A = this chain, B = another copy of it.
Amino acid sequence: MSPAVESGDVVDDVRRAIFEGDFVPGQRLIEVDLSTQFHASRASVRSALVQLAGEGLVERIQNRGARVRAVSLDEAVEISEVRMVVEGLCAAKAAQRASEQDLATLRGIATDMRAAVDAGDVLAYSELNRRLHATVRSVADQSVADAVLDRLRGQNVRHQYRLALLPGRASVSLPQHLEIVEAICARDAGRAEAAMRAHLASVIETLPQVGSPADA
């Protein structure tokens, strides 16, 4: 028999289950069910649900239990608007703080992005997109902004995911990504922030096209 699992793992398990779609928005999360599913005590599950509610991933109502929170399209737009300004801040800081090594990494991602678009490899481009944003945040070295972005990304991971699959999306965002890299390499903070904001503004404009994740 496996020993008792400490609560920290349960949070990760449930969070991953939500991310991977094992738990769909609106689905009830019943404490005893989760405790058997993840081999944890009910107290651990309970603590995990409180924590996930704080992250905005689940919704808890007094005496009625928890369910996976569904984010509406309107809310996804608001989330992306906040992301826009905060990632803009990160881009500006990155332009100020990047080492030569960092710039080389960014240029490498830019090159690979071009290649992925040429090859029509949507999946590779999507991964590079993730890496570019992650690298900018890492270079910016803003722990608070980073934490805020993590929280926000968790909430509309579903919307994000569907966006990358839109046909022709890559050819629109590629020049925006290249401009971000170029601005940072030029160490122009203002231009880097503007480029990042322009890119995410474009993402926001595209969001309604992908529709609400409910009607898949």
Q: In chain B, what residue has the closest Cβ to A147?
A: B56
The interface size of chain A toward B, counting residues with CB under 8 Å, comes to 29
CA A145 to CA B148, docked complex, whole Å = 11
Give a binary string over A68-89; 1 marks a CB under 8 Å from any B CB, 0 the rest.
0000000100110110111011
Residue of B nearest to A145 (CB): B82
Number of copies: 2
B residues within 8 A CB of A142? 78, 81-82
Q: Which residues of B contact A145 (CB under 8 A)?
A: 78, 81-82
Distance, CA A146 to CA B13, complexed state (A): 29
Closest to A52 in B: B54
Measured in the bound complex, the distance between the Cα atoms of B84 and A195 in whole Å is 18
Determine the distance from Cα of A43 to Cα of B46 in the docked complex, in whole angstroms: 10
Q: How far is the CB of A41 from chain B (nearest CB, A)?
A: 13
Q: How far is the CA of A55 from the CA of B8 in the complex (A)?
A: 16
Cβ-based interface call for A51 (8 A)? yes
With both chains docked as a complex, state the minimum distance between the C-beta of A164 and any C-beta of chain B, in angstroms.
22
Cα(A55)–Cα(B80), bound, Å: 21
Residues A24-64 near B (CB distance < 8 A):
43, 46-47, 50-51, 53-56, 62
Residues of B within 8 Å of A53, CB to CB, are 51
Whether A144 contacts B82 by the Cβ 8 Å rule is yes
What residues of B have a CB within 8 angstroms of the CB of A147 in the complex? 56
Within 8 Å of chain B (Cβ to Cβ): is A150? no
**Could you say which residues of chain B place their CB within 8 Å of the CB of A54?**
50-51, 54-55
12 A/B residue pairs, CB under 8 Å, sorted by A: A6-B62, A47-B50, A50-B50, A50-B54, A51-B51, A78-B145, A81-B89, A81-B142, A81-B145, A82-B142, A148-B148, A148-B152
